[in-house]
Amino acid sequence: MRGAALGPGYERVLRPVMFRAYAGDPERVHHTTLRSLEVLERRPAALAALRLLTRGPRRPVEAFGLTFPGVVGLAAGMDKDGVAPHAWAALGFSHVELGTVTASAQPGNPRPRLFRLPASGGLVNRMGFNNAGAPALAARLEAAGVRRGAAAPGIPVGVSLGKTKTTALADAAQDYLTSFAAVAPHADYVAVNVSSPNTPGLRTLQEAGVLRDLVAALVAAARVQDPVRPVPVLVKVAPDLSFDALEDVLGVCLESGAAGLVATNTTLTREGLADSDRWRASEAGGLSGSPLTARAREVVAFLAGRTELPVIGVGGLRTADDARALLDAGSRLLQVYTGFVYRGPALLREIEEVHA
């Protein structure tokens, strides 16, 4: 009951106040939330109290050689620079995927670049991998005591790797390797993000030949970094790929030694939107949230039906029924982002109860 009480408080009070206060600039809500969690991050007593409030039934999950205390984690994009790994754990997430981080710091795309579609339960973003860079993330995690396998903050910490915008596609592999070298000592797994629609040309890295070289290079680097227990390398795919293209990606993952897949990223389609949201949906960028629910489920079912590699299901998770369907489709783990924006901590508890 204590954890459940956080949900109504968020949905009925905190979210409406924040959304109204920053109605014209959703990104300010994002930054305000992160600043609050960053303050909480430095207060162990407050973190302990929050853990008591969010405590509920959870069933551990084994994947990629790691043990996750529950099934639902935080998707990449929310905490790009790793400001609050302990706070996310205290909120009840079973893991957190930081980033997407790039080899060099970059400001991302011009603002405005984040748009709410409230009637559809969606977001459109064209953030463009805004982050302080992989070395800065590594330094922050080191200062927070977050090292691979160190059991801090008590949940696995993944890092999503992307390409620096100014890096030529021909040099992409080295760019990813530079980021990997920086964050590998602090990452329980890394996810190769080649599927964001907001960096020009990035999705071409999903083509089989190019992706094979990139994943193989990262897997080899992981084995050099730790020959006994290499950092698991996952591949994050776009929901807009055809089934034939997904088959190619899966073949590359199997050939190159990838440990699993993350399905899916945001979509460029604008299907399933409420009429009142269509004016905002004309903005360029990737669409996330409830409009992606059905397609994410299709992609997870397609991949999970063709491989033993674990699949993290992401996309359109807003209810316990959404979670149940994505698990039934074959997801080993789940991640939320947009659903958490709209529902808050109550969503985590509902999903964990379904899984438990």
Active-site annotation, residues: 196
Distance (Å, whole) CA 151 – CA 223: 21
Is 1 labelled a binding residue?
no
Consult the annotation and say whether 337 binds a ligand: yes
Residue 322: alpha-carbon gap to chain centroid:
17
Residue 109 annotated as lining a ligand binding site: no
CA nearest neighbour of 67 among 239, 189, 183: 189
- 130 assigned ligand-binding residue: no
- The answer on whether 82 is annotated among ligand-binding residues is no
Euclidean distance between CA atoms 273 and 124, whole angstroms: 12
64 annotated to bind ligand: no
The answer to whether 265 is a known ligand-binding residue is yes
Helix, strand, coil in percent for the chain, rounding step 5: 50, 15, 35
Phi, psi (deg, nearest 5) at residue 309? -65, 135
DSSP conformational letter for 106: B
The answer to whether the annotation marks 3 as part of a ligand binding site is: no
Query: How far, in whole angstroms, is CA 51 from its chain's centroid?
Result: 22
Q: Is 165 annotated as a binding residue?
A: no
**Structure-token pair, residue 189:** 């797994």
Q: Is 264 annotated as a binding residue?
A: yes
Task: Confirm or deny that 131 is annotated as ligand binding.
Answer: no
Cα–Cα distance for residue pair 193/243, rounded to 1 Å: 19
Residue ranges for the known binding site are: 76-80, 100, 125-129, 160, 193, 198, 236, 264-266, 289, 316, 337-338
Binding residues for substrate: 80, 125-129, 193, 198, 265-266
Q: Which residues are annotated as a binding site for FMN?
A: 76-80, 100, 160, 193, 236, 264, 289, 316, 337-338
